[in-house]
């Protein structure tokens, strides 16, 4: 690797009425502690935890930049990143210094006013780890406690860094690295305990969240989100209750699956209730008919605690309550999306609520003390449920329960959801939640005779090639044109949309709301913009030269307000979608930079580089239809997650239709079978694919390249 306190309980803090912002971080000896974190809302200068406060509202009271002054907002400094992959992190700002993570789990520290680089840290994540990541080699941020920063690395380590120098204090492996676990989410800190989850449900792991001692890295507790399948009287009650909702023979059988339920992103904390809220992910595999079959072979059981919000005690990891947004989950409808805590009046009563817009397309409001269901309404069009009943359970549309019918179905939303990981924001003055939403349906088709592959492959139990688009450019553009991205202002009390901004494409950035009456967001059209929080009118924009998916922050240094956002296109949609087919939007590239703005800023970005347009010049397609069909199926399971369904390529990862290895069988085998490019993330598939199957994949890609050469007019779509 390369390197360029004390706490008080919430109730006591409330009684003491702890003072002004200048004292919140305390002395240098104390650093970031429970006092600072619990009172972060009053600390206007800094951004010391992932969502700015434990409530994760992502609202700052700063108002120097407002609707009247935002026209004078200009770039004041920027910093280029050394990783041309998705940038999803929320920076932290502490006492005039800005800290952030980048792709490949690197960390950088800057002077927050001038942009001077203070130090850099590279955990040297092995390149072959990339194959374990479903959705790009991203990282969403840091946690701070005392004088240390805490980072989860893609290969599953938790690292403590000295905040002043970037030197490593300690590191601990938090996962079984022999399995396909990854860590991309930002840790949280509660009273000296570092809380972190993991990802990997698509590859067959068993999800959990764990707490580690901030001073030593020792594991303090571990909370599994799904049963192991062999629970007995000594097992925790919550896991025994969960086991009754699964087919335990499958969980614990000879072909055991992990079950999924990974806690790969969102958390929130209420210090008054002393409850930590975690969002739990999808099942493994997605198809419940394979994951938890009933006697007739169709899916059966709610499969707790998949797709659930779960409240636990941060001191011990004790289960308190749960609410399941999608019982019997089978569409990759995670509940790992951003959760927001707020107090609001509902039906004449002041309620302590937790709010979430998970993938399934419904916006939920729950009582955060008890988990009681309050309300839910669709925030985007969806067809998997006819509504939510009075008990908070969905009324399923039987035609979309593909785990029960065994038949393909077009389902809205698809696996990317109506809202993915991109953080929402809440403006308490407006009473609105701002959602980075989108609409995209997917064809789900059960894969016959599916078996898990513990070594490689997307273990979902569906044919990922079922929705491939035909070689018809007009039809493809029509389909891509139906995919919508939007910024929605949602009234959580009335459960209705207040206003909406439509975007050219989906996968737009996370959000920031401010006391200046503004909402900031980057988008897939390479723009960073500010909107009026009440009306949605765009009041300012900046050409960022790259798609932005990360959320902005704001802070002050010497009384001057700054707005910062980490720019850089990437993530699940970006690496798998053919952005060149959205006619109203140019192909989106990655130019990874931190952009920092202030009133009167006069810095300028360098000229935008041209994006090369590589021609399609494949060898002729001579393989048999049988070979091509075999290659299509294997490509869908083993290649599509990185190289896009239908081999359409993207602007981020190599487009296989344009690969120099496509015309050379030996080179293709050396890459795919032998793994000669493993350090670049392209590992060996020797244990999962035979040489004949690898050759069939090549034949399929050759056929696809020839089809697309005929419709793309000689390579007009920009590619890597």
- Alpha-carbon gap, residue 126 to 458, rounded angstroms: 20
**What does the alpha-carbon distance between residue 146 and residue 647 come to, in Å, rounded to a whole number?**
48
State the number of CA atoms in the 13 A half-sphere of 547 facing the CB: 30
Residues 326-374 have pLDDT tens digits of: 999 999 999 999 999 999 999 999 999 999 999 999 999 999 999 999 9
Strands of 267-270's sheet in order across? 267-270, 275-279, 308-312, 319-324
Write out the H or E segment, with its range, that includes residue 224.
strand 219-224
Q: CA 84 to CA 80: how far, in whole Å?
A: 10
Alpha helices in 208-297 (DSSP H): 237-243, 248-252, 288-291
Q: Which residue has the tokens 């988008």?
A: 523
pLDDT digits (tens, 9 = 90+) for 484-497: 899 999 999 999 99
pLDDT confidence of residue 658: 87
Among 210, 209, 100, CA closest to 161? 100
Q: Across the chain, what does the average pLDDT equal? A: 91
Q: What is the pLDDT of residues 532-557, one digit of tens each?
A: 999 999 999 999 999 999 999 999 99
DSSP strand pairing (283-284 vs 308-312): unpaired
191 is catalytic: no
- pLDDT the model gives residue 9: 40
pTM higher than 0.85 for the full model?
Answer: yes
Supply φ then ψ for residue 518, to 5 degrees.
Answer: -125, 155
Q: Which structural domains are found in the chain, ordered by start? A: 5-42 (no CATH), 141-384 (2.140.10.10), 625-712 (1.10.760.10)
Spell out the SS3 assignment of 542-573. EECCCCCCCCCEEEEECCEEEEEEEECCCCHH
Rounded-to-integer distance, Cα 211 and Cα 221, Å: 5
Instruction: Give the rounded distance of the alpha carbon of 237 from its chain centre.
Output: 30
Confidence of residue 185 (pLDDT cuts 50, 70, 90): very high
What is the share, in percent, of the chain residues with pLDDT greater than 70? Answer: 92
Tokens, residue 470: 């035909």
- With a cut of 70, say whether residue 676 has pLDDT above it: yes
- Candidate list 155, 302, 332, 655, residue with the active-site label: 332
| Lowest mean pLDDT segment, chosen from 69-73, 175-179, 265-269, 679-683 | 679-683
User: For residue 555, which phi and psi values (nearest 5 degrees)?
Assistant: -160, 175
pLDDT score of 5 = 30
- Beta carbons of 356 and 323 less than 8 angstroms apart: no
* Between residues 458 and 649, the one the model is more confident about: 458
Distance of CA 137 to the CA centre of its chain: 11
Confidence at residue 253, expressed as pLDDT on a 0 to 100 scale: 67
């Amino acid at each position: 690797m390369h390197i360029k306190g004390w706490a008080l309980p919430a109730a006591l803090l409330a009684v003491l009425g702890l003072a002004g912002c200048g004292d919140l971080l305390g002395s240098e000896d104390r650093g970031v502690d429970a006092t600072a974190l619990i009172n972060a809302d009053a600390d206007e200068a800094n951004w010391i935890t992932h969502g700015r406060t434990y409530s994760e509202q992502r609202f700052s009271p700063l108002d120097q930049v407002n609707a009247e002054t935002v026209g004078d907002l200009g770039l004041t400094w920027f910093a280029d990143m050394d990783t041309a992959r998705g940038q999803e992190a929320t920076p932290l700002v502490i006492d005039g210094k800005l800290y952030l993570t980048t792709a490949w789990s690197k960390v950088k520290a800057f002077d927050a006013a001038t942009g001077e680089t203070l130090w850099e840290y590279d955990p040297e994540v092995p390149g072959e780890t990339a194959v374990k990541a479903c959705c790009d080699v991203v990282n969403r941020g840091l946690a701070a406690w005392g004088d240390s920063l805490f980072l989860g690395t893609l290969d599953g380590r938790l690292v403590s860094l000295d905040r002043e120098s970037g030197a490593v204090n300690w590191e601990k492996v938090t996962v079984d690295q022999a399995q396909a676990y990854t860590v991309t989410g930002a840790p949280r800190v509660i009273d000296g305990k570092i809380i972190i989850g993991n990802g990997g449900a698509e590859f067959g792991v068993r999800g959990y969240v764990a707490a580690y001692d901030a001073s030593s890295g020792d594991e303090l507790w571990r909370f599994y989100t799904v049963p192991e399948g062999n629970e007995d009287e000594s097992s925790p009650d919550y896991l025994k209750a969960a086991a009754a909702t699964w087919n335990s023979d499958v969980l614990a059988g000879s072909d055991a699956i992990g079950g999924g339920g990974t806690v790969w992103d969102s958390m929130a904390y209420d210090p008054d209730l002393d409850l930590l809220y975690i969002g739990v992910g999808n099942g493994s595999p997605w198809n419940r008919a394979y994951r938890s079959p009933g006697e007739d072979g169709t899916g059966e059981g709610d499969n707790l605690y998949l797709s659930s919000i779960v409240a636990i005690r941060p001191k011990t990891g004790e289960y308190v309550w749960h609410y399941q947004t999608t019982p019997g989950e089978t569409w990759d409808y995670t509940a790992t999306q951003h959760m927001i805590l707020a107090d609001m009046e509902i039906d004449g009563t002041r309620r302590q609520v937790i709010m979430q817009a998970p993938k399934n397309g419904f916006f939920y409001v729950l009582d955060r003390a008890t988990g009681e269901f309050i309300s839910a309404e669709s925030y985007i069009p969806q067809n998997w449920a006819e509504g939510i009943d009075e008990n908070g359970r969905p009324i399923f549309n039987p035609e979309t329960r593909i785990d029960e019918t065994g038949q393909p179905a077009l389902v809205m939303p698809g696996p990317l959801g109506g809202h993915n990981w991109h953080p929402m924001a809440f403006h308490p003055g407006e009473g609105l939640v701002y959602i980075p939403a989108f609409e995209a349906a997917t064809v789900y088709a059960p894969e016959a005779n599916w078996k898990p592959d513990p070594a490689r492959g997307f273990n979902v139990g569906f044919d990922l090639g079922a929705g491939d688009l035909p070689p018809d450019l007009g039809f493809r553009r029509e389909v891509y044109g139906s995919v919508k991205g939007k910024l929605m202002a949602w009234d959580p009390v009335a459960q209705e949309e207040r206003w909406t901004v439509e975007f050219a494409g989906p996968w737009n950035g996370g959000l920031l709301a401010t006391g200046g009456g503004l909402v900031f967001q980057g988008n897939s059209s390479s723009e960073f913009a500010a909107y009026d929080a009440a009306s949605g009118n765009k009041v300012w924009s900046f050409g960022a030269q790259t798609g932005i998916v990360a959320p902005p922050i704001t802070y002050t240094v010497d009384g001057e307000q700054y707005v910062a956002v980490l720019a850089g296109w990437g993530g699940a949609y970006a690496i798998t979608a053919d952005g060149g087919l959205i006619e109203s939007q140019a192909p989106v590239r990655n130019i990874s930079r931190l952009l920092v703005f202030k009133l009167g800023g006069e810095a300028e970005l360098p000229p935008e580089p041209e994006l090369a347009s590589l021609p399609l010049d494949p060898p002729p397609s001579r393989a048999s239809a049988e070979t091509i069909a075999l290659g299509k199926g294997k490509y869908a399971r083993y290649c599509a997650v990185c190289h896009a369904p239908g081999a359409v390529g993207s602007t981020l990862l190599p487009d296989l239709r344009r690969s120099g290895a496509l015309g050379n069988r030996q080179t293709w085998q050396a890459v795919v079978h032998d793994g000669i490019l493993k350090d670049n993330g392209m590992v060996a598939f020797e244990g999962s694919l035979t040489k004949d199957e690898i050759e069939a994949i090549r034949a399929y890609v050759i056929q696809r390249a020839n089809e697309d050469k005929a419709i793309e007019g000689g390579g007009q779509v920009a590619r890597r």
